[in-house]
Amino acid sequence: MKPKRHIYILLNKPKGYITSVSDDRKRSTVLDLVNVKERIYPVGRLDYDTTGLLFLTNDGEFSQLLTHPGNKVVREYEVKIDKPLEEKDKIKLLTGVLLEGKPGKFIKMSFFNQKDKKNIIISCEEGRNKFVKRMFRKLGYTVLELNRSTFAGMKLDVPKGKYRILSLKEVELIKQNYSN
């Protein structure tokens, strides 16, 4: 028997697709955007209305490596909120906010433009469900748009709805950076 060939895909997920292999409500899934013969699945999740970088693979170890909280895999998001972010709230987001009794924080924050404090770039090591949206909501902000631009050191480099296969070198670099 031939060993299973692993495949690693970087997808730019558009809005309107669920991050799942199938959907009992017949909504479009991220697999509808990818044309490969291997049986693959998403690495982690992006909400229905969240866009951006999503890995797909058939390698369980790779998936576990990137989703295990202990590995502190960095994700970068472009966030648009409903009102300007106050400095005191920026400090709270960087030092820690309690979500369901567990502390969460962003490791880096910057503004696209210093005059418009509604468009923010954040980095975090958290993969908890709706983490970015819940962090802002806890402080009274609504996230209007959320796009993951970087994950595990890989930058989003394909148009919305498109994908590419990761090179062996890229996969090895990710594994090196996050293996214990």
The set of catalytic residues is 47
Question: How many other C-beta atoms can be found within 10 angstroms of the C-beta atom of residue 158?
Answer: 12
Contacts by residues 64-68 (CB-CB < 8 Å, ≥ 24 positions apart): 65/174, 65/175, 65/178, 65/179, 66/151, 66/152, 66/174, 66/178, 67/43, 67/127
Nearest to 119 by CA among 109, 105, 130: 109
Q: Residue 106 region, left (φ>0) first, then alpha (ψ -120 to 50), else beta?
A: beta
> Pairing mode, if any, of strands 51-57 and 143-151?
parallel
13 and 30 Cβ atoms separated by less than 8 Å: yes
Q: How many residues does the chain have?
A: 180
